[in-house]
Amino acid sequence: MNFWKTLWRKYQGTSQVSNNTKNIHYHTIIQDFHYKNKKITIFLNTNKEINLYALEKLCDTVGWVRRPLKKVKLAIDNSLIIFSLFYTENKEKRLIAFARATSDNTFNATIWDVVVHPQFQRQGLGKILINEIINHLRSADINTITLFADPHVVKFYRDLGFISDPDEVKGMFWYPN
Amino acid sequence: MNFWKTLWRKYQGTSQVSNNTKNIHYHTIIQDFHYKNKKITIFLNTNKEINLYALEKLCDTVGWVRRPLKKVKLAIDNSLIIFSLFYTENKEKRLIAFARATSDNTFNATIWDVVVHPQFQRQGLGKILINEIINHLRSADINTITLFADPHVVKFYRDLGFISDPDEVKGMFWYPN
């Protein structure tokens, strides 16, 4: 798809990581982030080939119900974008935040599964992650970005420019009894 | 994709229309529907290869803003399902209702662009269309079905089992200023 080509090329172009392979899907998003009396570099990763065990571990830290990894993989494959944040420790990637969006690649996108590791919350990372998603979708000419926010994060999204119930449009759910 | 194979096979299997081609994506949904002192048969169509001009005409009847056909085509191609209702007149298909859903094919789906021709409203067709979508998504093991409802159709969706703001979860929108 042309859209993906454009999106990936853009991100590959902005990579600031020393890496000679062609498939770089990450770039530095914060340098000198203070964590446990150290300075770490945080990267934004746009690759769908994410470590599912690391993702499960991350979701565990915020108390989410475990989901079969096979289904998580399928959901990721069928999402338009997967954005995650990580830092490296002993040459290993440490996943600290994740979000994905489904879309018709044209008019609308819906953001799902936004999670930030508790030790990294309230330091602006969630805001950076969502703003990166907004910028991406906007650059792909997708104008309407939607999500369903738990009550404790409604203010967080409002501060990022999201509006709840605009013109009394209601988010509605159907699920099996 | 296996999912699509399953879905289409199911629908192809239920086709009641005389047609010898292998690519039947429609079946009778209502027989003897009263319209203009005639009895017509209404079909449910699950084919993405929909007549875009007929769709534009249908959207005109409910006063929607016109959208570039190229973009509509792209959105349809990138939706998980497209459901429409039609009847035939002088061997021509007459489009009378439409809806589509985006999805991660796994956990969630979101229904968009639900439209029923004004001359066919308030006769249960919208209900049939949405119930068919729910049944489809459920048969594909997708458990959470979401949508954003204009205030005048909130009751319509509530009657179909949709819940607004469950546990105070808020539907939120971001769009360019």
Contacts B146 to A, Cβ<8 Å: 110, 148, 171-174
What pLDDT sits at residue B24? 78
**Is A157 a known active-site residue?**
yes
Given A146, A147, A172, which is nearest B157 (Cβ)? A172
Give the catalytic positions of B in this structure: 157
Chain A contact present for B164, CB below 8 A: yes
Residue B140 binned pLDDT confidence (cut-offs 50, 70, 90)? very high
Contacts A160 to B, Cβ<8 Å: 174
Cβ of A170 and B165 within 8 Å? yes
Spatial CA neighbour of A151 closest among B5, B166, B162, B32: B166
In angstroms, what separates the C-alpha of A107 from chain B's closest C-alpha? 7
Q: What is the SS3 assignment for chain B?
A: CHHHHHHHHHHHHCCCCCCCCCCCCEEEEEEEEEECCEEEEEEEECCCCCCHHHHHHHHHHCCCCCCCHHHHHHHHHCCCEEEEEEEEECCEEEEEEEEEEEECCCCEEEEEEEEECHHHCCCCHHHHHHHHHHHHHHHCCCCEEEEEECHHHHHHHHHCCCEECHHHCEEEEECCC
> Taking all residues of chain A, what is their mean pLDDT, rounded to a whole number?
89
Q: Is the pLDDT of residue A23 over 80?
A: no
Given A106, A151, A175, which is nearest B168 (Cβ)? A151
In angstroms, what separates the C-alpha of B46 from chain A's closest C-alpha? 17
Mutation for testing the B interface, residue in A134, A148, A160 having most B CBs under 10 Å: A148
What pLDDT sits at residue B14? 38
Q: Which residue out of A11, A26, A87, A157 is catalytically annotated?
A: A157
What pLDDT sits at residue A22? 58
What pLDDT sits at residue A93? 95
Number of A to B CB contacts under 8 A, please give it: 167
Chain A contact present for B151, CB below 8 A: yes
Contacts A167 to B, Cβ<8 Å: 150-151
What pLDDT sits at residue B22? 58
Q: Which residues of A79-95 are buried (b: 16+ CB within 10 A; e: fewer)?
A: bbbbbbbbbeeeeebbb
Q: Determine the average pLDDT of the residues in B147-176.
A: 96
In angstroms, what separates the C-alpha of B19 from chain A's closest C-alpha? 31
Reported ipTM: the value is 0.86
Q: Is the pLDDT of residue A7 over 50?
A: no
Q: Determine the average pLDDT of the residues in A50-79.
A: 97
Q: Is the pLDDT of residue A114 over 50?
A: yes
What pLDDT sits at residue B8? 32
Residue B135 binned pLDDT confidence (cut-offs 50, 70, 90)? very high
Q: Determine the average pLDDT of the residues in A23-35.
A: 91
pTM over 0.90: no
d(CA A131, CA B166) in angstroms, rounded, equals: 26
What pLDDT sits at residue B114? 98
Given A100, A162, A171, which is nearest B164 (Cβ)? A171
Query: Torsion angle of alpha carbons B88, B93, B95, B99, nearest 10°?
Result: 110
Residue A18 binned pLDDT confidence (cut-offs 50, 70, 90)? very low
Cβ of A149 and B169 within 8 Å? yes
Mutation for testing the B interface, residue in A2, A104, A134 having most B CBs under 10 Å: A104
Query: CB of B24 within 8 A of CB of B46?
Result: no
Instruction: State phi, psi for A15 to the nearest 5 degrees.
Output: -60, 130
Question: Taking the domain B25-163, which CATH number applies?
Answer: 3.40.630.30
